[in-house]
Structure 1
Amino acid sequence: MGNTICCLPLPLLTHTALKNAKTGFWFVVFTTSLAFVVSQLDVSIVNVALPQIGRAFTAGISTLQWIVDAYTIAFAVLMLSAGGMSDLLGSKRLFQLGLLIFGIASVGCGIAWSPEVLIGFRALQGVGSAIMIPSSLSILNNTFAHEPKLRARAVAYWTAGGGISIAAGPVLGGLLIHISSWRWIFLVNIPICLAGLLCSIYLMDSKKNEKRGFDIPGQFIWMLALTAFIAAIIEWHNLGAQSPFIYGGIIFSAVMLGLFLWRESVAESPILPLDLFKSTNFNVFIGLGMAFNGAYYGTVFVLSLYLQEVLHYSVIEAGMAFLPLTGGFLIANITSSFIMDKYGIRVPILLGLLVFSIGFASLLLAKQGTPYWQLLLPFFAMPLGMGVAVPAMTTGTLATVKTNRSGIASAVLNTTRQAAGAVGVAVFGTMASGGPDHIIKAITEIAIIAAIFMLFYAGVVFKYLRDL
């Protein structure tokens, strides 16, 4: 029963069956994956709706960037603290709280009456995601801590759920907008959150780390550092580099980052334990996550504008154009666990970086009037490469720490990934500002820079990463 229960319709899950499935592999993976699915879905589903939201609120590109980045900033700002709280209070409780907050915020986004209100509720969604993502990984890590191969497979399927949802977001968004309105891209989260809350009742809790506290000053300083930097990048195009808001924001962010690192070095219960970075493997994994998210999130944001503003696709056509991304993630995430079983951590990561680089290089085909079939290679290769590498990266990150620190380890990984994603959207979105010609130019520059950087990082992985 434990291996098949997630295939049953939710209403048929009896109380007894759920109790028996409490430690079942598929039930645990299914339930924890719901958090990653809904959080990643909201990263990408909004992209295809940006032109419609812009027209509904008469909003410019910087406002649209804020609608995307308010979510990822809040996600990145609070996840470190959430990871620590998961280790301190127990992951199950935090997992449930995150799902509840995310569901409430999704209702707010769906009924938002102004761009400011929408941005506010998007930030609240980020809070919910920040709370539930590290706790979901902590539950997985603790449940399968004594079975490394089973843990690797669980993480691969957990990652597959998020990868498929981030790729399917534009497709689902296009369909919902076509049959209704952009508001439904947020309301669709509600049944997923409810299902997660119901199933989570029967999950095992994680081991608690009673030595951890909560560093409020560190949390506040980190929030200032990241928010100021992202705000300066987003408003760069509107205000210009000479604006005190821009250069002042960047300088202020750098000062806050330095202050944050100092604070974490002296705090009794730091939200970012700096001793984690004594591990070379851990550092390589963190850098890899940042490289993937920064490049991918920023590129999908620009490609959504490219399909609708340059190629003049309708919203449903733009959504369906992203369908190969779903296939790429599905194939890659599932394949990754088998590659890990046979070759370890390094091989899938190196393979993923190579394929990811090829996907970016093939974006050079994206021009005015480019036929869709020529876009199939980058649209399939990018998620294929990322999908092969990310499960190995996540599994490796969890394996570098003890189980009672898995919450903070996963929080550091996902914090840096989300921060990099927010920066990617801000930088790439600024590059694409100014109309169709600027969008095409931005894609060309992104293709060259990202392809070269991924090959460079493959060299870093080859030289420094060691199998666990």
Structure 2
Amino acid sequence: MRSDHSSPSAPETAAASRGGDDAARDALAPRRRSPGLVLASTSLGTLLVILLTSGLNIASPAIRSTFDAGDTAIGWVLSGYTLAFAMLSLTGGALTDRFGARRVFLVGLGVFSVFSLIAAAASTVTLVVVGTLGEGVGAALVLPSALALIQFVYQDVPGRVAWAIGIWAGANALGAALGPVLCGALVSVSSWRAMFVVVAVLAVVFALVGRPVLPLLRGGRARLDLPGLLVMVVLLGVVAFLAHDWRELSTGALAIGLAIAVFAVWLFGRVEKRSPAPMLPLSQLRDVPFSANAVVTVVGTAAFFGTLYIISMGFQDELGMTPFMAGLALLPLAGGNIVSALLAGRIIGRLGVRGAMIAGSVLVASVLVVIPLLFDHYGALVVPLALLGAGWGLLVPTTSTAGLARAQRGKEGVASGVTAGGRELGAALAAAILLPLGIRAGIWSAAAVGVVSLIVVVLGVRVHDRSGSTGRTGLGTRQD
């Protein structure tokens, strides 16, 4: 396979083969390229795609006003992005393992940019939905490939993987923080169209900056498991659709949808069992700690993002804030999120991955019980919002680290896709199920979801590295 390097004489190192056709990955990483530059580039791409997850919520009232759109159409504008993101993140992970993380990362930014421009130029709300769905496809390529790149460049540096993932999680947090502020400012000063133009331009800039920095990772030699990919996309799509539109569906239609979902689960098991190169080996799914971590990713994200969506809308609808002011009002949450994410490496070093995950889950669930009681007075919300952000800032890096720690060799991209897709599925389910419940009922329901997440962490999550050590160490944490 031809290298993308401009100079054939550039010093290169060949990574050791991971063994097995579906696990083989031939990695070329020029020594002159700093792991820090790779971390910065992948973090910028991650920041951008996460930014839109929270920013669309701020822009949706303006889009509704432009097209005089109904609640269903606006619901698809809001959740279409996260639905596509969730449905295809596992596919993005499989493509990362097959074609290489660098290539998939750059293609993802390109797709994200093109569909952002489609949304910006939309003449109907339907085209806005098409644009956000396409952006979700691009984001589904960016996130798992970014995490795979980080894991590769830091895998041989003792104690640095968890630190690097903490920095990357800080980019997640910063993106979620900047989304309401930046998008709210653009909507207030210009229009919602300007928001899409700005993210399109940034995607192109980040791709151009990243191309000469990122190491070329050749994917495995095994063929893509296309049947497995197709069945998984159908399964996630049906689940997301049922969660989004279950109120409008008749009992019969709902029963048919559930039956299709159950059949898709059964079919996926059959397809993966017979595939010579399964996308997600059943042995990986039978690893209870891996699957428990995936559940925590979905459920914990639903608790956090459900609250974020509800608060963002409540600041505008109940407290009378402008989109820009609503974005600024979320800064305490963003501040706690960023600080916690940046300190996650040290916290994991002291508490272990599982201990830090428990601490984050406790913070999220306990703060959500209090927020509805204080919602009428913004000043009383500042500290709870900061603590909520801190809890989420611990959950992102710990679930990412735990997923990679339990990944089978050669399936790091898929493991990253499970984590990334789980987050977006949780956000999509939160928008569909929790947001319509209103401020108090919705946030208290999110608190109950957070308690479920905590229970799964305590009962099911265990972390060890591939050498078999357990407990406090986890993947990449310091062992000395």
Matched residues in 2 for 1:144 and 1:58: separation?
A: 50
Worse-matched range after superposition: 351-360 or 36-45: 351-360
Give the letter aligned to residue 141 of structure 2. Answer: I
Aligned to 1:5: none
Provide closer, same or farther for how the CA distance between residues 448 and 131 of structure 1 changes in structure 2, counting only shifts above 3 A. closer
Report whether the alignment pairs 1:380 with 2:386: yes
1:249, distance to aligned residue in structure 2 (A): 2.3
Aligned to 1:313: 321
Aligned to 1:150: 160
1:61, distance to aligned residue in structure 2 (A): 2.4
Aligned to 1:115: 125
Matched residues in 1 for 2:356 and 2:339: separation?
A: 13
1:98 to 61, 86, 108: 108
Give the letter aligned to residue 98 of structure 1. Answer: G
Aligned to 1:333: 341
Aligned to 1:204: 215
Q: Kindly indicate whether the alpha-carbon contact (under 8 Å) linking 1:160 and 1:333 is maintained by their aligned counterparts in 2.
A: yes
Where structure 2 has 5 or more consecutive residues not aligned to the other structure, the ranges are 1-9, 11-28, 465-469, 475-480
* Cα offsets for 1:179-205 (capped at 9, x unmatched): 111112222213321232122222112
Provide closer, same or farther for how the CA distance between residues 338 and 248 of structure 1 changes in structure 2, counting only shifts above 3 A. same
Q: Kindly indicate whether the alpha-carbon contact (under 8 Å) linking 1:350 and 1:462 is maintained by their aligned counterparts in 2.
A: no
Instruction: For residue 149 of structure 1, give the secondary structure of its aligned residue in structure 2.
Output: coil
Report whether the alignment pairs 1:59 with 2:61: no
Provide closer, same or farther for how the CA distance between residues 408 and 177 of structure 1 changes in structure 2, counting only shifts above 3 A. same
TM-score by length of 2: 0.85
Provide closer, same or farther for how the CA distance between residues 148 and 102 of structure 1 changes in structure 2, counting only shifts above 3 A. farther
* Cα offsets for 1:390-433 (capped at 9, x unmatched): 2122122212235632111111221222222211211113x33x
Matched residues in 2 for 1:447 and 1:315: separation?
A: 23
Q: Kindly indicate whether the alpha-carbon contact (under 8 Å) linking 1:139 and 1:205 is maintained by their aligned counterparts in 2.
A: no
Aligned to 2:458: 459
Provide closer, same or farther for how the CA distance between residues 463 and 397 of structure 1 changes in structure 2, counting only shifts above 3 A. closer
Provide closer, same or farther for how the CA distance between residues 261 and 422 of structure 1 changes in structure 2, counting only shifts above 3 A. farther
Identity %: 25
1:273, distance to aligned residue in structure 2 (A): 2.2
Give the letter aligned to residue 117 of structure 2. Answer: V
What is the number of equivalent residue pairs in this alignment? 440
Aligned to 1:182: 192
Report whether the alignment pairs 1:131 with 2:137: no
Instruction: For residue 404 of structure 1, give the secondary structure of its aligned residue in structure 2.
Output: coil
Matched residues in 2 for 1:65 and 1:233: separation?
A: 12
Q: Over aligned residue pairs, what C-alpha RMSD do you find?
A: 2.5
Provide closer, same or farther for how the CA distance between residues 28 and 96 of structure 1 changes in structure 2, counting only shifts above 3 A. same
Matched residues in 1 for 2:348 and 2:59: separation?
A: 37
Q: Kindly indicate whether the alpha-carbon contact (under 8 Å) linking 1:31 and 1:199 is maintained by their aligned counterparts in 2.
A: yes
Give the letter aligned to residue 344 of structure 2. Answer: S
1:462, distance to aligned residue in structure 2 (A): 7.4
Q: How does 1:416-435 map to 2 (within 5 A)?
A: 416-429=422-435, 431-432=436-437
Worse-matched range after superposition: 310-319 or 45-54: 310-319
Give the letter aligned to residue 300 of structure 2. Answer: F
Give the letter aligned to residue 67 of structure 1. Answer: V
Instruction: For residue 280 of structure 2, give the secondary structure of its aligned residue in structure 1.
Output: coil
Aligned to 1:443: 442
Q: Kindly indicate whether the alpha-carbon contact (under 8 Å) linking 1:34 and 1:193 is maintained by their aligned counterparts in 2.
A: no
TM-score by length of 1: 0.87
Worse-matched range after superposition: 247-256 or 84-93: 247-256
Q: How does 1:160-175 map to 2 (within 5 A)?
A: 160-175=170-185
1:346 to 339, 354, 374: 354
Provide closer, same or farther for how the CA distance between residues 86 and 444 of structure 1 changes in structure 2, counting only shifts above 3 A. closer
Provide closer, same or farther for how the CA distance between residues 404 and 270 of structure 1 changes in structure 2, counting only shifts above 3 A. closer
Matched residues in 1 for 2:156 and 2:320: separation?
A: 53
1:219 to 226, 229, 235: 229
1:74, distance to aligned residue in structure 2 (A): 1.5
Instruction: For residue 290 of structure 1, give the secondary structure of its aligned residue in structure 2.
Output: helix
Worse-matched range after superposition: 91-100 or 139-148: 139-148
Worse-matched range after superposition: 270-279 or 311-320: 270-279
Aligned to 2:7: none
Indicate the structure with greater helix content. 1
Provide closer, same or farther for how the CA distance between residues 361 and 161 of structure 1 changes in structure 2, counting only shifts above 3 A. same
1:62, distance to aligned residue in structure 2 (A): 2.3
Instruction: For residue 246 of structure 2, give the secondary structure of its aligned residue in structure 1.
Output: helix
Aligned to 2:415: 409
Where structure 1 has 5 or more consecutive residues not aligned to the other structure, the ranges are 1-14, 433-438
* Cα offsets for 1:229-272 (capped at 9, x unmatched): 322332233x25x3543333233223223322322222223332
Q: Kindly indicate whether the alpha-carbon contact (under 8 Å) linking 2:90 and 2:418 is maintained by their aligned counterparts in 1.
A: yes
Instruction: For residue 224 of structure 2, give the secondary structure of its aligned residue in structure 1.
Output: coil
Q: How does 1:19-30 map to 2 (within 5 A)?
A: 22-30=32-40
Matched residues in 2 for 1:148 and 1:281: separation?
A: 24
Matched residues in 1 for 2:443 and 2:148: separation?
A: 40
